[in-house]
Every structure is written in C-alpha cells, then in structure tokens.
Structure 1
Amino acid sequence: MARARQTLERRQLGLALRRIREESGKTQQAAAEAIGRVRSRIVELEDGKGTLSREDLVDLLDFYGISGDERETVLALGAQARKRQRGRTYTDLLPGAFQRFADLEASATEISSYECGMVPGLLQTPRYVRALINEGDGIWWDSSEAELEQRVAFRLDRQQRTLSTSTGKKMAFILTEESLRARVGDPGVMREQLAHLLALIDERDDLTIQILSPESYLNPARGGGFTLFEFAGQGSPVAFANVVYGPSTYFHDEADTATMFRVFQRLHELALSPQESRQLIDRIMKDG
C-alpha cells in the first residue's frame, strides 16, 4: 500500500472499509495481519490517506467475508482511489451511492444542510420516512414492499449512525416553510413530525433548525438543496448537491466548497432565528 494524499475517492474507500470492518467485528490489528501489513497502514487507509493494490484489497475483503455486489463495488472504489484524480467534482456512479453518502455523514464533525420542500433525512420520524418513500414506490422503482422496507430501514439506520455519535458533532439545518406545510402522509404524520422537530430543538445543544420564509428576498439557493460536511481538519470539506434523479455529485475543490459555504451563510442570515423558527414550527403544528 502506498501513502497518498487524501482525495474524495480515497476517503470514500476508507469509510466503506471502516464500516465493513466494524460490521464484521474485526480489529485494525487483525486486518493488518491478514494482509501482512502494520496497523498504521490500515489506519491510513481508513482515514482516506492511503491506497491498496487490488491483490491486497481482495485479501482484505476475503478476511471480512465480503462477497457479491458489495465486494465488486468496493473493488471498483479501490480502482478509483488508485488513480490520479482530476476535476472539481466527483460523481458517484457505483451501486449503493446512498451508503457512501451515509458514511460521509456519519464521519463528519459538522453538517450544514439546506432543504426545500421536505424535512431533511436526519430529522425525519419513522412514519414520515415511510410516507415520503411510499410516494416514490412504483414510480422511481418497481413497486415492492421489500424495497420499501429496505429504504425505510436504511434511512433509520443512517439517523442512528449520525445522531447517536458521541464525537460532538455540530449540525445546522435550514428548511423552507414549505417543508413544514407539505402534506406528507396524513395530517397525523405531519403533526408528529413537527413535534419531533420541536423535541430535537429542545433536547439537543448540538443541533439548530432555522426556517426560511417564502417571503425571503434574494434567496441564492431557491429551488435547490445541498449539504456541507466538515471534518475538524482531518480532510477538506465536501459538499453534496441534492438531485431528484441521477448520480450523486460531490464538490471537493476549495473554490466550490467556499462558494457553497457563502450560500449557506446567506441563507442563515435570511432565515428566521432559531427561537423564531421554533415558534413558527409550534404555531403550524397547532394550526394543523
């Protein structure tokens, strides 16, 4: 394995391998011994600062007991990580792209998210998740109860991984008022969802929610949504642009992430204060 500078491709490989190792119940020391390396090499790999030859990656996946589609996806990630990457964006075209988004999300120390039209995934209640995913069943994918259950389970697992962390993650969410008034499921689903937002605001010091009024003037992100990830100096920030359909696109060039941080700061200035936002959520819940 060669030491290499951190790139988004190497970070994605490292995060995937860390998750797989932890799920398999193996230690970094045991993984290193399985491929004849020292533990520091596995640490570098999982931190996105190293690469593995295909042969070593195959041996590592054998040790973790990984086969099938997941194995092929990780091998493809490994091939990407070994390349000298150019360009300002990274487009994830491999299967399981949402899993790698969740890996980034769980590893970030700061998350800044803007969403219009719906409540962000990390803040959704189980009933809201199910109602939201059910809206796409039979349209974005073939109608399938198994598919629906899998998507719901993944969303809830993603919340658990990110919100239950003890690393002092800081999270800031800006939602449009439309997100609070949209009818996802029946009225009871929305009342429960709004109550959940209020509970999060009251219970978590590491999380803020602000609401952007439809009367806000000069919204630079009107009609769009994005998420910014920061890693406390353990790698450059990464931005993710929301899409309704198509591949996941990430921005990791400093010029792009700096622009998106400026946009988020502008939205922060335009939105209601956290206290005013809480009052609005409470009022909409009671009126509904």
Structure 2
Amino acid sequence: MPAGRQTVERRQLGLMLRRFRDRAGKTQQQAARAIGRDTARISQVETAKGSFSLEELDALLDFYCVDEAERQTVLELGAQARKRQRGRGYTDQLPLAFERLADLQADAKAIGFYESSIVPGLAQSADYMRAVINAGDGVWWESSQEEVEGRVAFRSELQRRVLDADEPKDLSFVMAERALDEVIGSFSVLRGQVLHLLQLGERPNVAVQVLPRTVLNNPLLGGGLITLDFGSSAPRIAFVPAPYGPSTYHDQEADTVPMFHAYRRVQELALDQDASRAMLIDKLKELE
C-alpha cells in the first residue's frame, strides 16, 4: 500500500480519532502535546494521510479517555491501516461497523443511495425507521428493547449529522418502486414514510427518485449501493450494504469507476424528480 494513500481503513481511523477528540473536548494542539508529536501529525492522521505507532495510539486513547471496547477496535484498525498490501476491497469485520460508516457519511460532500426493496436509512421517517429496526429485533440480535432504542437513537443522530450538516451535502436517493409497496410496521407507517419522502424532496440539496418496476436493464437489480464523494479531499468510496454480517468498501478506481457509473445509470433510468414526486403523491392517495 503506497505511503500516504487515503485508504478506507485510514479514513475510518482518522475519523474515529477526530470523533473521540471532539467528544473529549480536546484540541489538536493538546493531543499533539500528550503524545509528544506536532499538531501537523495529528492533522495528517485525522485526514488519513498518516498513521501512528501502536504506542502513540495507546497514549492518545488514554488522553481521550476511550473505554476498553472502543480502544481495542481502534488498535486493530490502526494495525490494518499500516498494512502495505491488501485486496482491492476492504471488508470491515470489526465491532460497531455502522459507526464508522456513519463517520464516512458525515464527512462526505455528496452521497448517493440506491435500494431495491427498502427506503434508504437516511431517508426513513421516524416511525418507518423504528419499524425496520423492530423487524430485526430477536432475529439479527438477541431481543432487547434497549438495543432497539439504541439503534433508533443512533440512526436519528446520523440523519441529523448528514441532513442538517452546517455545510449542506449533495444527497441523492434512488429507490425501486417495490420499496414503496413493502409494508413495514403498518399501512399507516408506510403512508407516513411516503409523506416524509415528499417533504425530503423539497430540500434544495436533496434529490428523491423512484425507479419504476417496468424499467429495463437495471444494473443494480436486487442489490443496494452507497456512493461517497469527498470532493478533492480524498478518493471516492463505494459501499455495498448487507442485511447481516460485514459489508465491503471499495476505494480503488478499478472498482469505484464502474460502481459510480452504475449509480449514475439508475439515476438516468429512474423517473426524474418531478415525475417521482407525482408517483409518490399517487401512492399517498392509494394509502388513504
């Protein structure tokens, strides 16, 4: 792995460390003093342009008062970030992977979401989100109301971080028409979700499109995809979500170029925003 290349692992590590530093209320200058490095080095690592030794990471985590569970994940991620060679894709198998995906989404300047049978998480209404999470309770994890509430709170906070970011992000949602037919929770919940999509589409930085079931040659048939564009600050990333187990990130152009092209294709195949809005209004009337 070329020195200084901003891989997914390095970006995840840098964003986690920045999140821990913010949580601890520390400045980069204070963090640098704590481990005997200069401020520029803290900045390099937080922007995925450098790495720390395990000893430096350990000292920094002490300074940030990071608990043992989070510490172990950071140290393992730090070891992966220093590897010189890996395969083309990166599969995140460490605990709480959804937190690191959230960090990347909060850091991106433009995000594209495609789903074939569900409304994308960042476009979910509060009731729909809770219904989706309740559907997994006792299936993907041991049944626990505490777990449900924690997941609802986390996803709600992620929506706030992304949708209400100080610098508005360019957000695009494309969902297959089938997602509007899947009743999750109840018909009332689905109706509220359709209304939420209409309201979301009124934002100037958000595009909501529906891919009709009659469309031909969908290159993402049956799958999901998230595209993350960081502008000039870092390479693009494509993320392939999975309903259970680890998901895979792609950060090399041999993969991101066709994956971003596939996302643009479903945007082209989908109804434009006005026609999508009309379909959503019709769907809302059907659910009355």
TM-score category of the 2 structures, normalised to the smaller one:
over 0.9
The answer (yes or no) to whether the contact 2:106–2:162 under 8 Å persists in 1 is yes
Q: CA deviation at 1:168?
A: 2.9
Match of 2:187 in 1: 187
SS in 1 for 2:232: coil
Indicate conservation of the 8 Å contact 2:171/2:206, yes or no. Answer: yes
For residue 96 of structure 1, what is the aligned residue in structure 2? 96
* Cα distance in 2, alignment partners of residues 182 and 8 from structure 1: 33
Offset of 1:213 from its aligned partner?
0.4
Match of 1:39 in 2: 39
Structure 2 letter corresponding to 1:86: R
The match for 1:197 is 197
1:178 offset after TM fit, Å? 1.1
Runs of 4+ in structure 1 off by over 4 angstroms are none
Q: CA RMSD in A?
A: 1.1
Question: What's the counterpart of residue 116 of structure 2?
Answer: 116
1:203-235 CA-partner distances (Å, limit 9, x unpaired):
x11110110000001111110010010101111
Q: Counterpart amino acid of 1:78?
A: G
1:15-164 correspondence to structure 2 within 5 Å: 15-164=15-164
Aligned-partner Cα distance in 2 for 1:6–1:51: 11
State the identity as a percent: 49
8 Å CA contact 2:115–2:225 kept in 1: the answer is yes
Structure 2 partner of 1:208: 207
Equivalence for 2:170: 170
Deviation of the 1:191 alpha carbon: 1.4
Output the amino acid matched with 1:68: E
Q: Which residue of 1 aligns with 2:229?
A: 230
Contact 2:238 2:260 in 1 (8 A): no
Aligned positions, number:
285
Alpha-carbon distance in 1 for matches of 2:21, 2:163? 21
Q: Distance in 2 between matches of 1:5 and 1:226?
A: 24
Letter in 1 for 2:213: P
Q: Measure the CA separation in 1 of the matches of 2:274 and 2:53.
A: 52
What do residues 68-94 of structure 1 show as CA deviations (whole Å, max 9, x unaligned)? Answer: 211100111111111113221001010
Measured in 2, the distance between the counterparts of 1:12 and 1:191 equals: 36
Determine the C-alpha separation between the residues in 1 that align with 2:143 and 2:282: 37
CA shift, 1:4, in A, is: 2.5
TM-score (ref. length: structure 2): 0.97
CA-to-partner distance for each residue in 1:104-152, whole Å, 9 max, x for gaps? Answer: 1110001011111111110111111110111111111111111111111
- How far residue 29 of structure 1 moved from its aligned partner, in angstroms, is 1.3
2: CA distance, partners of 1:28 / 1:189: 45
Alignment partner, residue 272 of structure 1:
271
State the 1:279 CA deviation.
0.7
CA contact (8 A) 2:111 2:172 kept: yes
Structure 2: stretches of 5+ with no match in the other structure: none
User: Cα distance, 1:53 vs. partner?
Assistant: 0.6
The residue number in structure 2 matching 1:255 is: 254
Letter in 1 for 2:32: A
* Cα offset, 1:201, TM superposition: 1.0
Deviation at 1:33, TM superposition (A): 1.2
Instruction: Tell me how far apart the structure 2 counterparts of residues 118 and 226 of structure 1 sit (CA, whole Å).
Output: 12
Structure 1 residues 240-284: Cα deviation after superposition (integer angstroms, max 9, x where no partner): 012122212101110111001111121111110100001111110
Which runs of no fewer than 5 residues in structure 1 stay unpaired? none
Q: Distance in 2 between matches of 1:136 and 1:279?
A: 32
Distance in 1, Cα, partners of 2:45 & 2:26:
15
SS at match of 1:208: strand
